[in-house]
Amino acid sequence: MARWVIFTILYVALSFYVLQALKTVTKQPWWSYLYIAISLVVMANFIYQFTVGEETGRVLSISKSYAFGLLLTVLTFNIITILFLFSEDLFRISTGIYQRFFGAGKEFGLPARRRFLSLLALGVASIPFGALLYGMYKGKYNFKVLRYTLEFDDLPESFDGYQITQISDIHSGSFDNRKMIEYGVDLINKQKSDVLLFTGDMVNNMTSEMLPWADLFGTLKAKDGKFSVLGNHDYGDYIPWETEELKSKNLEDLKELQRNMGFDLLLNEHRYLQKGEDKIALIGVENWGKGGFKKAGDLKKASAAIDKDDFKILMSHDPSHWEMEVINDPYHYHLTLSGHTHGMQFGIEIPGWVKWSPVKWRYPYWAGIYKELGQFINVNRGFGFLGYPGRVGIWPEITVITLRKKALT
């Protein structure tokens, strides 16, 4: 209870501060009334959703996600505005103190707020405010097909031109628009790739989240099959369970559901993709992540029955696994496919110019193709979303990778 009181006091204080900018910019009181009304409704809805309205058994229901998203939007607007106002207030206070001790009047007084600066503050703050709203309304289903061609000296001849579609981080428990998910699934199938690889996090927490969507994702197809691995959210570790048996059953149900949908789920295992006499080793590990994430992945076990000289594609949900274990493994893993980061669902990307997201401070390999020690990784930005129910600048991704045999020079 105390935390909600503290939260309310801080939120109201921030909102009151921002209100000063509105009063400086316009004499029309209805702007202030509108801002007060929006701020109070957003705050009340957030408190309600996370207390009285909390849905049992889920970390973030759809309604809770939107409550969080709207709160984040308003807080971002407030904080940016306050950064401008606070800098001006430091100047106003300094000026007042100077006038008190060195001025002619010897009286302390604060200069009036400058309308231009308040207008600038509100204008700048409105940019992320609008972007976050757009991210919830449109951005989260703004599916992008990203294409890469990767060359290898030792790619088997028969696999020259072989096409892989990778998807990751479906997070079906967050979906709220079947028409747009149908569009995304159709876009995956339109790539007509040789193989489809899903790199984990099918659900947020519970297998039941995928049941309304299983028939749709079951229509995904590829000539050489579709394969999957587990992500950290698939284990159900982030919600309380009445018994360990129920938690274990949830995981087993998810494994079975994936198989029923046509996925070959690799649990620290491998398969061979075969073309005539040529083959590629496809290795799939369970989740392995740094910083407290589950470390169920066993690379040695998954690769125990393959040859060191095989051409290898590794599916591992968390890119920190590649960074900390895979790169320096005695086996050479030609291509690793990961997800997990979502690109934080927020950032700025202008191909060839800018690629930035705050998540880079946590994951050095956070989106797209990287190469180290002659080995590639692709970190997929994710098909779905989690937490904030939207995406800004980092759009949902369908990756298409074409393997090429490097020409002799």
pLDDT value at position 84? 84
DSSP state of 170: -
pLDDT of residue 56: 47
pLDDT confidence of residue 53: 67
DSSP string, 150-193: EEETT--GGGTT-EEEEE----GGG---HHHHHHHHHHHHHT--
Q: Count of domains in the chain?
A: 2
User: How far, in Å, CA of 318 to CA of 200, rounded?
Assistant: 9
3-class SS of residue 325: helix
Instruction: Indicate the average pLDDT of the chain.
Output: 91
348 and 304 inside one domain: yes
Residue 113: give the domain boundaries: 2-137
- If asked whether residues 94 and 149 sit together in one domain, one would say no
3-state secondary structure of 204: coil
Q: Strand order of the sheet with strand 397-405?
A: 144-152, 397-405, 163-167, 195-198, 226-228, 263-265
pLDDT of amino acid 359: 96
Separation CA 171–CA 6 (nearest Å): 32
Mean pLDDT of 61-75: 94
The whole-number pLDDT of residue 107 equals 54
**Co-location of 334 and 223 in the same domain:** yes
Q: For residue 271, give the CATH number of its domain.
A: 3.60.21.10
In terms of domains, do 178 and 128 share one?
no
100-136 pLDDT per residue, tens? 566 555 554 545 566 778 888 889 999 999 999 999 9
- The first and second tokens of residue 314, run together, are 């590794």
Closest CA to 76 of 379, 403, 392: 392
Which of 95, 112, 137 corresponds to the end of one domain?
137
Q: According to the model, what pLDDT value does residue 93 have?
A: 63
Does residue 324 share a domain with residue 202?
yes
Same domain, 224 and 372: yes
Q: Strands 312-315, 397-405: parallel, antiparallel or unpaired by DSSP? A: unpaired
CA distance 406 to 334: 13
Co-location of 77 and 207 in the same domain: no
In sequence order, the β-bridge partners of residue 350 are: 354
DSSP state of 149: E
* Measured distance CA(382)–CA(399) in Å, rounded: 10
Confirm if 313 and 334 have CB atoms less than 8 A apart: yes
User: What is the pLDDT, as a whole number, of residue 125?
Assistant: 93
Are the beta carbons of 356 and 327 closer than 8 angstroms?
A: no
- Residues of the chain with pLDDT > 90, as a percent, come to 78
Residues 329 and 235 both lie in one domain: yes
Residue among 70, 19, 16 nearest 41 (CA): 70
What are 262-298's pLDDT values in tens digits? 999 999 999 999 999 999 999 999 999 998 899 999 9
Q: How many helices (H) and strands (E) does the chain have?
A: 9, 14
Last residue in a domain, options 111, 137, 163: 137
d(CA 184, CA 140): 11
Provide the 3-class DSSP secondary structure of residue 184. Answer: helix
Residues 109 and 221 in one domain: no
Among 120, 137, 154, residue at a domain's last position: 137
Same-domain status, 169 and 115: no
**Residue 184 and residue 99 share a domain:** no
Q: Average of pLDDT values for 376-394?
A: 97
Mean pLDDT of 161-175: 97
Per residue in 217-255, pLDDT tens? 999 999 999 999 999 999 999 999 999 999 999 999 999
22-48 pLDDT tens trace: 888 887 888 889 999 999 999 999 999
The torsion region of residue 128 among left (phi > 0), alpha (psi -120 to 50) and beta comes to alpha
pLDDT at position 57? 42
Residues 128 and 204 in one domain: no
